[in-house]
Structure 1
Amino acid sequence: MSAEEFVEYEEGLDWLHGLLRFGARPGLERMNWVLEEFNHPERRLAFIHVAGTNGKGSTCAFLTQMLMEANYSVGTFTSPYMVDFRERIRYNGSMISQEDLLTLMNEVKVLVDRCEKETSFGSLTEFEVITIIAILYFARVVRPAVVVWETGLGGRLDSTNVVSPIVSVITNVGMDHTQVLGNSLEEIAREKAGIIKPGVPVVTGERRPEVLAVLQDKAKQTRSTLYQIGNHFDAQQVAEQLGEQQLRYKSIHRREPSSYRLTMNGMHQTDNAAVALMTIDVLRNYFSYLLEEEEIVRGLQQTRWPGRLEIVSPRPMVVLDGAHNQEGIAALTGSLKQLLPAGTRLHLLFAGLGDKPLTGMAKALDPLKDQIEALHVTSFDFPRAADAQTLYEAFRTGGWEDEYLDTVPDWRAFLLSWMQEKQSAKADDWLVICGSLYFIAQVRAFFPTTVEEAGE
């Protein structure tokens, strides 16, 4: 064993997190150099590559569960994580083991050091290293039949964009990460369209003509078939209550519409499920994937994705949602309008990152003004987190009066007192916690483990 090898898992993790100082550095030259040294293990895997501003994680979860129900072995790569870093790399729903992750970190570290010394590319970033580790784990250790592969940021220059998928998926395009991806929907769409590869079919849940024009243009250049929601496939929500919804799905690949039940709420999940279903239709029709209708039904019904309108306490009612940009908050607002029982007093606990459109997010909550009792803004332990005063000002600029707003110096103390105070409260008090996935991850760890995860 080399003197520099990590012996403990935590040592390796500290090294990996230490690479965060290199930030996000778009470009594929470091990835390609390392993969070349490893003799391109990614070429031995079948990928479904998923990009999009919102809904990537949920779409990946739907795809993974449906394929697993049909007895396909599935690798899944997603970000960020909620509680444990290893959630990002899963095989058949189970996280990569600490032992496998440690072995691969030691192996990759050698090449990270070499890349820094031997090339002009500099050091790999944390996300690039975890992407390489995921490829090695899937190609060498577990060898799944298919990998559901989520982009980190954008598409064209994202470190996941070193694979040739069998299907590309672009859930939607929104105004997020504008400092990296561009200041208009069209510019951001061009970055997302970078995952479209020659001859590879593309499925999108995007409906806006100006965005579709960009995706169509790219698909035409690469001679890829583009399947669009509202045109080649669609889904309508038929009924919804807290904890479930029914939808009807139709596609050009099916003679009759089909009915499905989801345990995830929101019209945006109806669209995400439709995108996942169309991707399955493409796999069945063009790649001979075998999924029976009852396996698809079970897969959709059993899909859970933490931090998306997730109830972590039924009494008092506490709901977590990872909405972290303007479109996400608008989707959350629409869902709450539909789901809140009459007479509910709604309280929001909000924390967000300083580089997000905070005033726009505040404005997106406006349709809930009649139901919101109080907006509690707070900060949390994360490098890019906005402080509570910044959030307070953003909400004021976004049209919220002082009487709605209050700053919370310590969100944990706030939650403790809320849980104790409201334990015996009637069901008309709801606390919804939102604003950042990173914040939601920390809040989630505050609550007892949910039943679904008890076995992990």
Structure 2
Amino acid sequence: MDGDSMFVRDYQAALDFIHGRTKFKKKPTLTTMKLLMERLGDPQEQLKVIHVTGTNGKGSTTAFIRELLLAHGFEVGTFTSPFIVKFNERIALNGQMINDETLVTLVNQVGPVVAELDAELGEQGPTEFEIITALMFTYFGQIKPDYVVVEVGLGGLLDSTNIIQQPLVSVITTVGYDHAQILGSTLPEIAQQKAGIIKASCPLVLGKVSPEVAQVIKAVAREKKAPYYQLGQAFKNQATGLKDGQESFIYSDDSFHKLALASGLLGAYQVDNATCALKAVSLVAQAENFQLQTKLVKLALAQTAWPARMEKIFTQPLVFLDGAHNLAAFEELATMIKSHFNANHVFLILGILADKEPEKMLTMMAKLPNVQLILTDFDAYRQVADPQKLATKLPQAQAISPWKIAFKTVVTELLADESDVIIFAGSLYFVSEVRAFFKEEMDE
């Protein structure tokens, strides 16, 4: 491509092009995505993919899978969302995000095809997420890593990542309420969407779900003749509590008997994510004829890190960031506070998006006797739940905005003891803003 006909000239222009698109179609379909990939030469068909969906736990499960494969000497691509600090994190190789020049090159390859489709399809032209997915498949199609772990953007069935025909294994981590306005309002409806990633004869790993959800997913697996492995049945785990600051657990399946492991990510639910990841990778190992080594499995799970998942950013005072952003994740956070911080006073600083049932989430947290709720706001492209309005409905919550003032108030006026804990949560967008700010402060 010569200098005069470049679609974008620099990194900022590449980002502007991507973010300038509509986020989602009114009616999701895969038609545009199929056309887009076809014109780009269908690079996704050359890749060995592990496809991951679920209401919560997708990102952490992807991180565990990545570490397990890396530990066994493979090159691993990952596709995740949302990013925490920088857009490029969404497309990463061996845990390192792509650089700015690579993104510019990719947009210069994909952009002109998008422009062609815009001209032909008008409003049905590719959306932001379809374009990002196409950039990712194009990139991995060129560098051909051994495996690519692809996280679904939304749902499964009509998600733009779902043009993958033959993944090595599909993983459904959890099924709960999130994005109800797009995916349906009952759990079986949401499960039906997630089950859309199940492909003919491709093994499926299913995490902890309710019986009604399992029934829906099992029916789809049976219909597609997909081997079906459900946590608690085909493979099992048993949490054995905190050891040396890690979640320890015992894993068993048909190839490992009572294997003692530990997760580098905190929270009982991370034990389930690590367990599903290990089962998925053991199925990959079977299909690809390589042996999993116990020593490497232990090492990989113990060293897995994922930004903003009960991530400790300060020890004095003890400050964590957690991406809990819907009811199911808040239930996990509440369980985590009960099991790990029952003897501590916890200040929960929350910034929540308005479309996430904030009142239900807060009512649940307000029941914890050792938790003090501080409601705040942050910069978001979507509407943030009004902290003042929420605080009037909950007598035990106080509203302090903006969040930097909320943090300062907690540290200077409210902290009473060295054992007090501060947790930022409520939205991944919120905690990514907090994280970026603190990282910058520390670097100066």
Shorter-chain-normalised TM-score: which range?
A: over 0.9
Question: 1:301 maps to which residue?
Answer: 302
Listed as ranges, the matches of 1:51-450 within 5 Å are 51-119=53-121, 122-140=124-142, 142-163=143-164, 164-240=166-242, 243-254=245-256, 256-340=257-341, 342=343, 344-368=344-368, 370-372=369-371, 374-384=372-382, 385-392=384-391, 396=393, 400=394, 402=395, 404-419=396-411, 426-448=417-439
SS of residue matched to 1:152 = coil
Deviations 1:391-447 (A, max 9, x none): 335xx3xxx4x2x21111211222245445679x63232111111111010011121
CA contact (8 A) 2:187 2:213 kept: yes
Deviations 1:100-122 (A, max 9, x none): 11011111111111111113562
Deviation of 1:186 (Å) = 0.1
**CA pair 22-276 structure 1, distance change in 2 beyond 3 A:** closer
Letter paired with 2:115: D
| Separation in 2, partners of 1:361, 1:83 | 25
Deviation of 1:24 (Å) = 7.0
Deviations 1:190-232 (A, max 9, x none): 0000000000000010331100000110001100011001100
1:16 aligns with 2:18: yes
Letter paired with 1:358: P
Unaligned runs of 5+ in 2: none
Deviation of 1:251 (Å) = 0.8
SS of residue matched to 2:289 = coil
**CA pair 339-143 structure 1, distance change in 2 beyond 3 A:** same
**CA pair 47-21 structure 1, distance change in 2 beyond 3 A:** closer
**CA pair 16-406 structure 1, distance change in 2 beyond 3 A:** same
Q: TM-score, normalised by structure 1?
A: 0.92
| Separation in 2, partners of 1:281, 1:350 | 38
Q: How many residues align?
A: 439
Q: TM-score, normalised by structure 2?
A: 0.94
SS of residue matched to 1:75 = strand
**CA pair 175-440 structure 1, distance change in 2 beyond 3 A:** same
Letter paired with 2:358: L
Structure 1 vs Structure 2 CA RMSD = 2.0
Letter paired with 1:297: K
SS of residue matched to 2:67 = helix
CA contact (8 A) 1:348 1:375 kept: yes
**CA pair 107-291 structure 1, distance change in 2 beyond 3 A:** same
| Separation in 2, partners of 1:4, 1:264 | 43
Deviations 1:217-255 (A, max 9, x none): 00011000110011001111112158312110001233x
CA contact (8 A) 2:349 2:424 kept: yes
**CA pair 330-149 structure 1, distance change in 2 beyond 3 A:** same
| Separation in 1, partners of 2:22, 2:87 | 14
